[in-house]
Structure 1
Amino acid sequence: MPDYGHEPVFGSFITPAAADPAATVELARVSERAGLDLVTFQDHPYQTAFLDTWTLLSYVAARTERVSLSANVMNLPLRTPAVLARATASLDRLSGGRFELGLGAGGFWDAIEAMGGRRLSPGQAVDALSEGIDVIRALWDTSERARLRYEGEYYRLAGAKRGPEPAHGIGIWLGAYKPRMLGLVGEKADGWLPSLAYFSDPAQLGEGNARIDEAARAAGRDPGQVRRLLNVGLGGREGPLAGPLGDWPEQVAALALEHGFSTFILASDDPDLLRVFGAEVAPAVRELIAAERS
């Protein structure tokens, strides 16, 4: 698979645990001090063991200075896209352009319905996500003054005002695995954000990239516009990222150079592992990628 040429980015994927909120926030601060570029949290609004992800992201933005922030990924069925558009733009402005928007179509429908959300079939969920992206982008676009009208199957705007404009070009990253979702990534998204643990064979990463590239070209886009992000777990006994610390940089660099991924997000609540990932693994990976590209 191609190397899409994006600069490497390294981040953390932290459990938004409600039992010890101070510890959860401290893991984000540890990530920043370790030199990581990005802090992310999963979003399951129906999970009472978790802090509300939007509230947590806002609080962490105020407790950090440099690191970028995102949900991994935001549960669109329980977060109205028009309100989400204004909320993300607001937090991006408040944080000095440090917010990115990871989005998901939803999946735990019993729990979503219990919270008042609408149960959708898998195909409907993809269609609703596609409409949601349209709504969010339209409200961010303040180049025109005309009020917005949008007539979708799942979302409608009846003369909504545009804005506020984000402080920077917020990336929309989709958590996607199946063909229609991968097609939506290529057609409309800025990034693909899967988890490595969901792939039994590294070749499946290439298959996903190929579907995204095909959809991007069909939509008149350069496939290189789509950043490839990956949630990873390090130090296991099996899989592409296994074995001792000394092997990690080459394994991560191979995912960049052979499979086109450029953002690596470590799923861990271990502060020592986050420090190692930021202070040791990330610099070594950057050197390997730079040497191979040169």
Structure 2
Amino acid sequence: MNPHDTIAIDELEKPYFVWFEDNWTHDDILHSHEKGQLVYVESGFQYITVDGKIYLLPQNHAAWIPPGSVHKTNTHSEKIKLMIMFADVDPDISFHQEIHVFSVPPVLKEMIKYAERWSKIMSKDPDEMLFLKALFNELPRFVEHSLKLHIRLPEDKRLSEPIGYLHNHYQEDIRIEDLSEISLLSLRTLERIFKKETGMTLSKYQQILRIIKSLELLSSGDLTISETAYQVGYKSVQAFTRSFRSVMQSRPTDFIKTTQ
């Protein structure tokens, strides 16, 4: 269930609202609300589009979505346990106005799970208010080493074909010359608008694409690390592990789906 289907978040007469679901489904519609939103993925993986950028939340990661940001959620996971909290926040604090994607430390994880007792409760509860005020007050400190794994959606229509090609052939060794032919743009023009629109070079963009796909495969639990490495285009497990660590600051083994 999606909370936006049944509850007008901004009409709630309480500063915080907790919504947890074992099997979350999505309406995939862009929307916004005045409350900020904390999204935590306990299991599975989640894509979030916020203000024209696609972010990936692997399991045990969370995202802070600022108030007023146009966003939508969607996932390819068969089953996803998602925990969402909405909060009124101080607009003068810069932290609240930026999106943050981060690995959830054990203390915050326990606080989020504890808050499940207030899931979907519409009435005000003094204990809930006190507890969640403490959680959101400490949130900036939990996010000091924020991981921003995202791909920006290009607005320049000239990139539509080359970006589409990249997403369909990310596991191949693609050169800028290949994309130049596809887009009918000169190398210099393509390099310039690619960097301007995506914020990264072709090689970095392809690396992020591969790591995102590998996270999907690892969290599904169907492939080994070795099989995943070759599936996303790496020639060796060592090369995959190096690339993965440089992007995620952690090892592929940390994201392998574990059975409960």
- Relative to the length of structure 2, the TM-score reads 0.30
Structure number, greater radius of gyration: 2
- Relative to the length of structure 1, the TM-score reads 0.28
